[in-house]
Chains A and B, each alone.
Chain A
Amino acid sequence: MDTNCLAWILLLLPIVVAGAIMLGLKRWPQLSALLATGSALITLVIALTLACPEYRDGSIKSFPWIQLGEGQDAFRVNIGFNLDLLSRGMLLIVTAIGFLVHLFSLEYMKDDNGQSRYFAGLALFMFSMTGIVLADNFVMMFIFWELVGVSSYILIGHWYQKDAAADAAKKAFLTNRVGDVGFMIGILLVWVLTKSIYFHEIEAAVGGVANRHLLDVAVLCIFCGAIGKSAQLPLHVWLPDAMEGPTPVSALIHAATMVAAGVFMLARISVLITASGMAAEVIVWIGAITALFSALIALQQNDIKRILAYSTLSQLGYMIMAQGIDNGGDAGMFNLYTHAFFKALLFLGAGAVILACHHEQDIWKMGGLRRKMPITFYSFFLGTAALIAVPFTSGFWSKEAILDAAHHAGQTGPYWIGLIVALLTPFYMTRLFVVAFLGKSRSGDAKDAVEVKAVMWVPLVILAFMAVFSAYGLIANPLQALGHAELDHFHLNQTSLLSLCGLIVGAGLAFWLYQGKSEEPLNGAFFKLSRNKFYVDEMYAHLIGIIQDDFAALIAFLDRYVLQPVLVRLPAFTSMAVGNLLRRFQVGNLQIYALYMSAAAVLLILFFIF
C-alpha cells in the first residue's frame, strides 16, 4: 500500500468506526470498545509506517472539495494532507497516546452504561485530531478544529445526567467558539494578504506582504484560536471544568492532544509568527502569564484532577510562550511531545487511583497508597519527576530547551516568569504526590485500595518509560520526530542551575510542609484567592450578566415602544376600521341590495360606453 492509501485510511478509519458504533452497535458495548481500540491500534501502526523512510516522501492525492471560479485563479479548497516532519511527529503522539488511552478505557469504562457512546466519541476525536495534524490548508484545519471541539463537548458531557458535566461541556464549547471567531477572522485576513489558504503557499508569500500591521493583526486573530483551544488566559476557564469528563478523556484530550492543537497550529504558521514581531511578543507574554497564573491556582486545589488540569494549563503556557520566541518553536514542540507522554501518564495514574478509591477525587481523602498500588505509585512518581523536570528525565530536557531559548532571545521578563513557575511546579506536584500517595490512608476508601488490572497498568508503564526516556536518541532519532534540542550536551549554565534550584526549593518546601499532614496547613488571604481560582469565573459571570441585562433592556424597549405599535397595533386597528366601514353595507334589506345592483349596472354601462 502506498503512502496515499495509508494516509487516507489513517484519517477515515476512526470516523467509519464511530459511525458504525453509533448506527448499529450500541447494544454491544464490548464489541464497540474492541472495535474502537482496534482502529486506534491500526492508526498507530500506520503512523509508525509513515515515519519510515520509504513512505516518507510519497505523494498524497488531495480530494477537491470547493472550487469557485475557473482556471488558474480559482479559489480551491481541497481536503489534502501535509506529511512533513511536524505532522508525522504529532501523528505519532496522537495515535500512540490515543491507543494507550483506548486500552486504559477498556477497563476503566467497563461498568459504564454509555460505553458504546464513549468509544464512538473517542473514535470521532481521533478522526478530528488526525485531521488537524494532517491538514495542508487553513480551511481544512478549521473544519477539523471545530470537530475536535465537538468531540470534546461530547466526551466531557459523557455523564450528561450530571448537571455539572453538562454545564462543563457547554462552557468548553462556548469558550472554544469565542476563540474560533478570532481564528476565522485571522484566516480571512491571511487569505486577503497572501491570496492563499495553503500553508506552503502562505509560507512562500509571507515575505512579499506589504501591509505589516495587518499581518500582525491577522496573526493575533489566528492566535485567538489557540487561546481558546489551548486554554490560555483569558479563555482558560473551560479546562478545569472539563475534568467532569471521564479521566481517560482528560488524559487524551485535555492533556496530550487537543489542547496541544493550539501549539501545533502555531508551529504550523511559525513563518507567519516570525514575520510579525508584535504578535510574537503578545504570544510570549500571554503564554508566560498563563503559566504563572495557573501555577498559582494549582497550589491550593484539592481535587487531584483539578491540580493536574491547572498543571496542564501551566505547561501549555510554557509551550505557547516558546512558540512566540525566535527559534523557540522547536523547543515548544519538543515540550509538547514530552508533556503529552507524562501528562497522559499522570492523568491515567490519577484515573487508576480514583477507580481504586471508589471514585474519590479529593487528595485529602487518599493517602497510604504506596504499598497498596505499587505499579501506579512508581509510574506516577516517574511522571511527576518528568513534569517537575528532575534532571535527565525527558521533561527536564524540554523545559531547559524552552528556558534556554527564552534566555538567548533576550526575553528577560518571560524568562524569569518561567523560572518562577519552575519553582511553583515542583511545589504543587510534590504536594499532590505527598498528600495523595504517601503517609497513612485518610479514609475508608483509600484503605481498601487495590492495584488496578493489567489492562490499566500496562499503559501506565509504557507511558512511564516514555516519560523518562523519550528525549533520548534511541527513541527520538528513528522517529525523527522530536525537536533539535541539544540532548546529549548538558551545559551547566545559568538557566539549568537556576531551574535546579527552583526544583530543589519547591519540592523540598512542599515535602516539609505537607509530609504527614492530614489537612491543608496553609491558610492566608492569598491562598484563599488561589483556592477560589482568583474568582475569574465569578467575574465572567458578573460581566456576562451585566451585558445581558443591558442588551435585554434595550430589546424590551424596542419591542414595547417601536415594534408593538407599528407592527401589531396598526394592522389590527386598520383591519377593525375598514371592517366597521364595510359592515354598514350589510343592511339586510332586499331592496337596498337591488339598488346597489342597479347602481352598479348603470355605472358599468357608463364606464364602457363613454
Chain B
Amino acid sequence: MEATLTLNDFLLISGILFSVGLLGVLIRRNIIVIFMCLELMLSAANLTLVAFSRFDTGNGHPNYHGQVLLFFIITVSAAEVAVGLAVMVALFRSRKTTDVSQINSMKF
C-alpha cells in the first residue's frame, strides 16, 4: 500500500469540496445553508493553498509563504462572515423569511 500522499490527492479533495460547496450554493433554499456552503468553497480554496505550500519544497522545508497567506485569508473570511450575517439579519427583518426562492420581486 502506498503510504505517501501526492499533491494531486490534496487537489482532488479540494476540488470535490469546492464542487459540493458550489452545488450547495446553487441548490439549497435556506440562506444560512447557502452561506455555509460558501464557507465550504472558501475552505476548499484554503486547502489548495496549504497543499501547494506543503509540496513546494526547497532545501527540505515547505514554502511557508502559502501558510502565512492562509492566516490572512482566514482572518478576512471571519470579517466577511460577520458582514454577511448582518446582511442576512436585515434581509430576514425585511422579508420575514429565510427562503431564498421567496425573494423574487425583481422578476420581470
Interface residues of A (CB under 8 A from B): 583-584, 586-591, 594-595, 598
> Known pairs A588-B106, A588-B108, A589-B104. 16 more at Cβ < 8 A?
A584-B108, A586-B106, A586-B108, A587-B104, A587-B107, A588-B103, A588-B107, A589-B101, A589-B107, A591-B26, A591-B27, A591-B34, A591-B100, A591-B101, A598-B22, A598-B26
Which 8 pairs from chain A and chain B are nearest by CB? A588-B107, A588-B104, A588-B106, A586-B108, A583-B108, A590-B100, A591-B26, A595-B26
Interface residues of B (CB under 8 A from A): 22, 25-27, 34, 100-101, 103-108
Contact between A591 and B104 (Cβ–Cβ < 8 Å)? no
Q: Least Cβ distance of B33 to chain A in Å? A: 12
Contact between A590 and B107 (Cβ–Cβ < 8 Å)? no
Which residues of the partner chain A approach B107 to less than 8 Å between Cβ atoms?
586-589
Which residues of the partner chain B approach A590 to less than 8 Å between Cβ atoms?
100, 103
Which residue of A has the minimal Cβ distance to B25?
A: A594
Which residue of B has the minimal Cβ distance to A582?
A: B108
Which residues of the partner chain B approach A589 to less than 8 Å between Cβ atoms?
100-101, 104, 107
- 27 residue pairs of the A-B complex, CB under 8 angstroms, read A583-B108, A584-B108, A586-B106, A586-B107, A586-B108, A587-B107, A587-B108, A588-B104, A588-B105, A588-B106, A588-B107, A589-B100, A589-B101, A589-B104, A589-B107, A590-B103, A591-B25, A591-B26, A591-B27, A591-B34, A591-B100, A591-B101, A594-B25, A594-B26, A595-B26, A598-B22, A598-B26
Which residue of B has the minimal Cβ distance to A583?
A: B108
Which residues of the partner chain A approach B27 to less than 8 Å between Cβ atoms?
591
Which residues of the partner chain B approach A584 to less than 8 Å between Cβ atoms?
108
Which residue of B has the minimal Cβ distance to A588?
A: B107
Assembled-state Cα–Cα distance A594/B34 (Å): 11
Q: Least Cβ distance of B103 to chain A in Å? A: 6
Assembled-state Cα–Cα distance A598/B26 (Å): 10
Assembled-state Cα–Cα distance A590/B100 (Å): 7
Which residue of A has the minimal Cβ distance to B105?
A: A588
Interface-centre pick from A586, A587, A588, A590 (highest chain B CB count, 10 A): A590
Assembled-state Cα–Cα distance A598/B18 (Å): 12
Which residue of B has the minimal Cβ distance to A602?
A: B22
Q: Least Cβ distance of B108 to chain A in Å? A: 5
Assembled-state Cα–Cα distance A590/B98 (Å): 12
Which residues of the partner chain A approach B104 to less than 8 Å between Cβ atoms?
587-589
Q: Least Cβ distance of A35 to chain B in Å? A: 76
Which residue of A has the minimal Cβ distance to B28?
A: A591
Which residues of the partner chain B approach A595 to less than 8 Å between Cβ atoms?
26
Which residues of the partner chain B approach A598 to less than 8 Å between Cβ atoms?
22, 26
Assembled-state Cα–Cα distance A588/B103 (Å): 7
Q: Least Cβ distance of A531 to chain B in Å? A: 77
Which residues of the partner chain A approach B100 to less than 8 Å between Cβ atoms?
589-591
Which residues of the partner chain A approach B106 to less than 8 Å between Cβ atoms?
586, 588
Which residues of the partner chain A approach B25 to less than 8 Å between Cβ atoms?
591, 594
Assembled-state Cα–Cα distance A584/B108 (Å): 7
Which residues of the partner chain B approach A583 to less than 8 Å between Cβ atoms?
108
Assembled-state Cα–Cα distance A591/B99 (Å): 11
Which residues of the partner chain A approach B34 to less than 8 Å between Cβ atoms?
591
Which residues of the partner chain A approach B22 to less than 8 Å between Cβ atoms?
598
Assembled-state Cα–Cα distance A594/B22 (Å): 9
Which residue of B has the minimal Cβ distance to A584?
A: B108
Which residues of the partner chain B approach A594 to less than 8 Å between Cβ atoms?
25-26
Assembled-state Cα–Cα distance A588/B25 (Å): 16
Assembled-state Cα–Cα distance A589/B103 (Å): 7
Which residue of A has the minimal Cβ distance to B104?
A: A588
